[in-house]
Amino acid sequence: MKVISPGIEEKIARLVEKHGLLDQLFAFGQPAESSRRFKKANQKLRTTIVKIYDSSQFSSALKDPLADCLWIGFIPSRDEMKQVHGLGKQVWLSLHIADKRPDLWDEARVSQMDGICTDWPLECRRQWRKAK
């Protein structure tokens, strides 16, 4: 989406509601002001804050009302994951386009992350199935 489009957040929220997708998506990568407009359009629409790169940013991100989902670039500890899930939030690992890293996929699975955003979904799925 282009945040320069007037009212785009409200239009997206209406489409999401219309198609019953509130529990299947979240908005990420947008500026905080855009997240606020999403929340104003529909409080149930999940939003993220900018990418979190290490544990030092993690606890402050948990307090942010715009952080329904944490969009992160590292593997959190299981204790951190318990804390997130206890607050009803989710954690998604965002890997760079060049990161075809089965070791990180495995660490994410073990830490009980909610999801991975990768350009290698089929390979990741195969890796997780092998690990079972």
Q: CA 87, CA 41: separation in Å to the nearest integer?
A: 23
Tell me which residue has tokens 């909610």. Answer: 114
- pLDDT band for 131, please (50, 70, 90 cuts): confident
Q: Are residue 53 and residue 110 in the same domain, yes or no? A: yes
Q: In terms of domains, do 23 and 82 share one?
A: no
- Which DSSP category does 43 fall into? T
Q: Would you say the C-alpha torsion 54, 80, 74, 42 has a positive or negative sign? A: negative
Which amino acid appears at position 47 of this protein?
A: T
Q: Are residues 66 and 95 in the same domain?
A: yes
**What is the number of domains present in the chain?**
2
Residue-wise burial string across 31-68, b where 16 or more C-beta atoms lie within 10 A, e elsewhere? eeebbebbbebbeebbbbbbbbeeeebbeebbeeebbb
Write out pLDDT tens, residues 82-129: 999 999 999 988 876 557 788 888 888 888 888 888 888 888 888 888
Whether 41 and 95 share a structural domain: no
Start-to-end C-alpha separation, the chain = 37
Domain match, 14 and 75 both: no
How confident is the model over 6-34, as pLDDT tens digits? 889 999 999 999 999 999 888 888 888 99
pLDDT exceeds cutoff 90 at 42: yes
Statement to judge: residues 40 and 4 lie in one domain: yes
Per-residue pLDDT at 127: 84
Q: Provide the whole-model pTM.
A: 0.78
Asked if residue 69 and residue 35 are part of one domain, the reply reads no
pLDDT at residue number 38: 93
CA torsion through residues 106, 109, 111, 115, sign? positive
Same domain, yes or no, for 73 and 109?
yes
* Whether 64 and 115 share a structural domain: yes
Give the pLDDT confidence score for residue 96 in this predicted structure: 66
**pLDDT at residue 1, as a whole number:** 59
Residues 110 and 77 in one domain: yes
- The residue segments making up the domain with residue 4 are 1-45
* Same domain for 95 and 81: yes
The DSSP string of 65-101 is: TT-SEEEESS---HHHHHHHHHTT-EEEEE--TT---
Helix (H, G, I), strand (E, B) or coil at 48: strand
In a shared domain, residues 54 and 14: no
Q: How confident is residue 57, by pLDDT bands cut at 50, 70 and 90?
A: confident
